[in-house]
A and B are shown apart, each in its own frame.
Chain A
Amino acid sequence: MAKIELKNLIKTFGSTDVIRGVDLTINAGELMVFVGPSGCGKSTLLRLICGLEDITSGELLFDGVSMNDKVPSERGIAMVFQSYALYPHMSVYKNMAFGLKLANVSPQEMKNRVLEAAKMLQIDHLLERLPKQLSGGQRQRVAIGRAIVRDPRVFLFDEPLSNLDASLRVDTRLEIAKLHHKMKDTTMVYVTHDQVEAMTLADRICVLRDGNIEQVGTPEELYSHPKSLFVAGFIGSPKMNFLTGDIAEKHHCHTLGIRPEHLVIDHLDGIWSGEVVHTENLGADFFVFLDLGIKEPLVVRLDGQQRIPLGTQVNVRPLEEHLHRFDNNGLPITLTSNREKI
């Protein structure tokens, strides 16, 4: 169990500020996901926590103890790398045991721990193989297993699913979720650029942008109450529709946001109307792209049974309680907002 506290953490490389004063508390046993576009500083933040980068200023605490001057091996952490970082010349067993050999673990204990972790991840039949004889998913399991055997206080994942193909990514995501439920005492920090991974795995999500925290909260909070235009656009797929100009002005805001699933086709009361210019059929969902005469088409989600042919003129009505209004700084307007009723 470790509660991680980041206090005004700053990291600069030369004259470039990468992390610009981050304050964050990660609760013990929680799975926190750092998410953001590339270059937002999420990987750097993770590397500061594990000690692969030195902290320029600010403080990093594990359970109230400063970690600023502790080398990585003294922090009680384990990390899963994007590239897996398995040693190609060592068998799976050796890879998993390599880090343990120095940690004052008896050979028998070491063997037990490796076997236990291998069973948990269903790689116990692969222990004698070399990494090159494994599939991508199996390699990822070995990398996770290598981290598990160290029995860390803090478990770090640096984009662990990026090198896997789409279906394997979903499977491994589930594995990691299961792992989190099993290892209740271990605090996990997970870095990804994929908001779907963040939404599905996280207890809480921390959205980063340009070295600053945009918002921290549960997936539901971020989805329903984004505290900025950036978070509103980043979380959710397909992304939220943003309307500006006259349409927004009618709702007394600079930018009006509405998610595709909060638009209803309504030929009588539909306040916006446009021509269907494109459709996407995903089986369960059917997305319609409407041309409202503004720059971006308006995306509307229908359930998979409905079909609307191209070129049809359609009227849509937004669900008022799900409208997001933002001022010209991209901050939400909350005073008279209907969102407050939820």
Chain B
Amino acid sequence: MFKKHILTTPEVSSLQRQKLRAAFWFLAPMLLVLFCVAAWPLLRSIYFSFTNTSLTNLYGGEWVGFKNYLTWKTFSSGRTIYSGTLADPAWWNAVWNTVRFAVVSVSLETIIGLMVALVLNAEFKGRGLVRAAILIPWAIPTIVSAKMWAWMFNDQFGIINDMLLSVGLIDHKIAWTANIDTAMLSVLIVDIWKTTPFMALLCLAGLQMIPRDMYESAKIDGVHPIKVFFQVTLPLVKPALMVAVIFRTLDALRMFDLVYVLTPNSKATKTMSIISRENLIEFDKFAYGSAQSTLLFAIIALFVALYIWLGKLDLSGEKS
């Protein structure tokens, strides 16, 4: 239809029509691929969430409306019982876990990443080597680093307990990943260890965009380095930082692999992705899991929209 539309628009010259046709055919393969791998699964998940489909009978689902999201029954006694994802405490626990994880990990990664980037931006011998070395945690596959950390966190043989005991910071061995109080902390430590290099790299790219003249001018004026950081560096690196934070927030909101390997089945770390997979695959509540996936998608979309909106507000605030 799109193609037909361009070809029949009278005011478009033949050269322009030719260009548009070429553009369409160049874009078509990519659009097709995107439709197959992104749009179609997404739309299908959304559709499933409104049915009672089960994993064993993918095509036999019937339309049930919002039953998977929220439904209620009022008994003759006057008591109303709510059911569906939105009334499921396990779901809200997962939402809370995910949001808490995202906020803490992204904030710390941003701060530490920026500090690392500032160091890497300075000129010193062997800077290239350090820059390459710092990327190693990020380059290791998550499954591998999660297993590695799982061993380090091991309550009996783990090196972390051993080190903390020998310096006297703890007086008994802690089951870091299994203990409900420390599970989230363990996940956060590993994630920050793993992703800070990526953040640092994005920050470094932003820092290198700042002309050296700005710093030299401040140096001649005798402006204190801390003031230069907060009043010159930070505002100028902000656009790059915003992009990095958006990327990381999206990543963190759909956190799955690290939790799946490091702290499986811990109530304290179950994220939205983990719980929806559980329902989809393990509990054979396929439609219910689809509803949770759809909600996850909606929440991420909401966060992005919110973040972009806030970012724009801030930028225009500067102009005035």
Is A256 an interface position by the 8 A CB rule?
A: no
Is A274 an interface position by the 8 A CB rule?
A: no
Tell me whether chain A's interface is mostly helix, strand or loop, or mixed. loop
Cβ of B319: which chain A residues have Cβ within 8 Å of it?
130
Is A99 an interface position by the 8 A CB rule?
A: yes
Question: Complex formed: what's the CA distance from A146 to B220 in Å?
Answer: 12
Interface size on A, residues (CB 8 A): 25
Known: A81-B213, A83-B213. A73 touches B236 (CB 8 A): no
Instruction: Evaluate contact between A72 and B231: CB separation under 8 angstroms.
Output: no
> Which A72-125 residues have C-beta < 8 A from chain B?
72-74, 77-79, 81-85, 87-89, 98-100, 102-103
Is B211 an interface position by the 8 A CB rule?
A: yes
Question: Complex formed: what's the CA distance from A99 to B221 in Å?
Answer: 5
Question: Complex formed: what's the CA distance from A102 to B231 in Å?
Answer: 13
Q: Which residue of B lies closest to A82 (CB)?
A: B213
Smallest beta-carbon distance A110→chain B, Å: 13
Partner pick for A77 among B214, B220, B227, B231, CB 8 A cutoff: B220
Instruction: Evaluate contact between B219 and A73: CB separation under 8 angstroms.
Output: yes
Instruction: Evaluate contact between B213 and A73: CB separation under 8 angstroms.
Output: no
Partner pick for B222 among A52, A73, A88, CB 8 A cutoff: A73
Known: A83-B213, A88-B236. A52 touches B223 (CB 8 A): no
> Which A10-68 residues have C-beta < 8 A from chain B?
50-52
Most buried by A among B216, B235, B318: B216
Is A150 an interface position by the 8 A CB rule?
A: yes
Smallest beta-carbon distance A85→chain B, Å: 4
Partner pick for A85 among B213, B222, B227, B318, CB 8 A cutoff: B213
Instruction: Evaluate contact between B318 and A79: CB separation under 8 angstroms.
Output: no
Instruction: Evaluate contact between B211 and A150: CB separation under 8 angstroms.
Output: no
Q: Which residue of B lies closest to A94 (CB)?
A: B231
Question: Complex formed: what's the CA distance from A99 to B222 in Å?
Answer: 7
> Which B175-223 residues have C-beta < 8 A from chain A?
211, 213-214, 216-223
Smallest beta-carbon distance A226→chain B, Å: 34
Is B224 an interface position by the 8 A CB rule?
A: yes
Instruction: Evaluate contact between B221 and A89: CB separation under 8 angstroms.
Output: no
Is B232 an interface position by the 8 A CB rule?
A: yes
Cβ of A103: which chain B residues have Cβ within 8 Å of it?
221-222
Question: Complex formed: what's the CA distance from A13 to B6 in Å?
Answer: 62
Instruction: Evaluate contact between A150 and B216: CB separation under 8 angstroms.
Output: no
Question: Complex formed: what's the CA distance from A72 to B217 in Å?
Answer: 10
Known: A52-B216, A98-B231. A85 touches B211 (CB 8 A): yes
Smallest beta-carbon distance B29→chain A, Å: 40
Instruction: Evaluate contact between A85 and B221: CB separation under 8 angstroms.
Output: no
Known: A98-B223, A99-B223. A83 touches B211 (CB 8 A): yes
List 16 additional A-B contacts (Cβ < 8 Å) besides A50-B220, A87-B231, A99-B220. Answer: A71-B222, A72-B222, A73-B219, A77-B220, A81-B216, A83-B211, A83-B213, A84-B213, A85-B216, A87-B232, A89-B235, A98-B223, A99-B218, A99-B221, A103-B222, A130-B319
Q: B-contacting residues of A (Cβ < 8 Å)? A: 50-52, 71-74, 77-79, 81-85, 87-89, 98-100, 102-103, 130, 150
Task: Give me the 7 closest cross-chain CB pairs, A-B, nearest first.
Answer: A73-B222, A99-B221, A85-B213, A85-B217, A89-B235, A72-B220, A81-B213
